[in-house]
Structure 1
Amino acid sequence: MSTTTGSFQQRSDVAIQDKKLRANFLSAMDGLMEKRDLAFDDKTQLEALRILGAQVRQNALVKLPELLVELETKLTQRGVQVHWAQTPDEAVDIIQSITLKEKAQKIIKGKSMVSEEIHLNDKMEQVGVTCLESDLGEYIVQLAKETPSHIVMPAIHKNTAEIADLLHEKTGIERKEDALYMTEQARQQLRKNFMEADIGLSGVNFAVAETGTLCLVENEGNGRLTTTVPKTHIAIMGIEKVVEKLEDTAPLLSLLTRSATGQPITTYFNMISGPRKENELDGPETVHLVLLDHGRTQMYQDDELLDTLRCIRCAACMNHCPVYTRIGGHAYGFTYPGPIGKILMPHLEGLDDTQSLPTASSLCGACAEVCPVKIPIPDLLVRLREEANHPNPQDSYIKGAGIKRHGMEPVLWSMWRWWHQRGTRYHIMTSMLTKLHFLQPSKLAPWTNKRTLPKMAKKSFHQQMKARTDRLKKGALR
Structure 2
Amino acid sequence: MSLDNHYDVDAALDKALKDDFLRKATRRATDRLRNNKLAITEELGNWEEWRQVGERIRNHVVENLDYYLDMLIENVEKNGGHVHLAKTPEDGVRIVQEIFQKHGFKSVIKSKSMITEEIHLNPVLEKDGIEVVETDLAEYIIQIADEPPSHIIVPAMHKTREQIAKLFEPIAGHPLESDTPTLTKFAREQLREKFLTSKIGITGCNFAVADTGTITMVTNEGNGRLTSTMPEVQITMMGMERIVPSYKELSVLLNLLARSATGQRLSVYTTMITPPKREGDIDGPKEWHLVILDHNRSEILGDEDFRSSLRCIRCGACFNVCPVYRQVGGHAYGSVYSGPIGVVITPLLEQNYEKWGHLPYYSSLCAACSEACPVRIPLQDLIVKHRDRKVLKGYTSGVEKKIFKYYGYYFSHPKTLSKFVRLGSKFQFILMRNGRIASGPPPLSNWTNSKTLPPVAKQMFRDQWPELEKKLKTMQRGDQ
Query: What's the TM-score, normalizing by structure 1?
Result: 0.89
- Map of 1:435-454 to 2, 5 A cutoff? 439=429, 441-444=437-440, 445-454=445-454
Give 1:324 shift.
Answer: 1.3
- CA change 1:475–1:32 in 2 (3 A) is farther
SS in 2 for 1:149: coil
Indicate whether 1:405 and 2:397 are aligned: yes
Give the equivalent residue in structure 2 for 1:160. Answer: 161
**8 Å Cα contact 2:422-2:458 kept in structure 1:** no
Deviations 1:332-387 (A, max 9, x none): 11211121111111112221211111122221211111111111111111111122
Q: What are the equivalent positions in structure 2 for 1:257-336 lying under 5 Å apart?
A: 257-336=258-337
C-alpha distance in 1, partners of 2:204/2:452?
Answer: 45
User: Structure 1 residues 36, 434: closer, same or farther in 2, change over 3 A?
Assistant: farther
Sequence identity (%): 39
Aligned residues of 2:418 and 2:460 also touching (Cα < 8 A): no
1:261 CA drift (Å) = 1.2
Change (3 A) 1:287 1:472: farther
Please report the RMSD computed on the Cα atoms of aligned residues, expressed in angstroms. Answer: 2.9
Which one of the candidate residues 379, 382, 385 is aligned to 2:387?
385
Give the equivalent residue in structure 1 for 2:341: 340
Indicate if the aligned counterparts of 2:2 and 2:120 stay in contact, CA closer than 8 A. Answer: no
* Residue 243 (structure 1) shift: 1.4
> How far did residue 169 of structure 1 move?
3.9
Partners of 1:144 and 1:429 lie apart in 2 by 58
Gaps in structure 2 of 5+ consecutive residues = 430-435
Q: Secondary structure at the match of 2:241?
A: helix
- 2: CA distance, partners of 1:40 / 1:458: 53
Change over 3 Å in CA distance of 1:421–1:321 after alignment to 2: farther
The one-letter code matched in structure 1 to 2:336 is T
DSSP 3-state at the match of 1:236: strand
Cα 1:433–1:341 change in 2 (3 A) is: farther
Match of 1:415 among 400, 406, 411: 406
Could you say which residue in structure 1 is the equivalent of 2:54? 53
Amino acid across the alignment from 1:217: V
Note the 1:164-175 alignment, pairs <5 A.
Answer: 164-172=165-173, 174-175=175-176
Q: Match of 2:41?
A: 40
Contact 1:83 1:290 in 2 (8 A): yes
C-alpha distance in 2 between matches for 1:204 and 1:56: 18
How far apart are 1:188 and its partner, in Å? 1.4
Q: CA deviation at 1:421?
A: 6.7
1:88 equivalent in structure 2: 89
| Map of 1:9 onto structure 2 | 10
CA contact (8 A) 1:167 1:173 kept: no
The corresponding residue for 1:370 is 372
Residue aligning to 1:184: 185
Give the C-alpha shift of residue 406 in structure 1. Answer: 2.9
Distance 1:268 1:163 in 2: 25
In structure 2, the CA distance between the partners of 1:106 and 1:412, relative to structure 1 (3 Å rule), is same
8 Å contact 1:2–1:333 — kept in the other structure?
A: no
Larger radius of gyration: 2
Q: CA deviation at 1:426?
A: 12
TM-score w.r.t. the length of structure 2 is: 0.89
Shift of 1:17: 2.0
> Is the contact between residue 213 and residue 272 of structure 1 (CA under 8 Å) also seen in structure 2?
yes
Cα offset for 1:331? 1.5
Structure 2 CA distance for aligned equivalents of residues 44 and 94 of structure 1: 46
1:394 corresponds in structure 2 to: none
Q: Is the 8 A contact 1:201 1:226 kept in 2?
A: yes
Alignment of 1:248-259 (within 5 A): 248-259=249-260
* Contiguous gaps of at least 5 residues in structure 1: 392-401
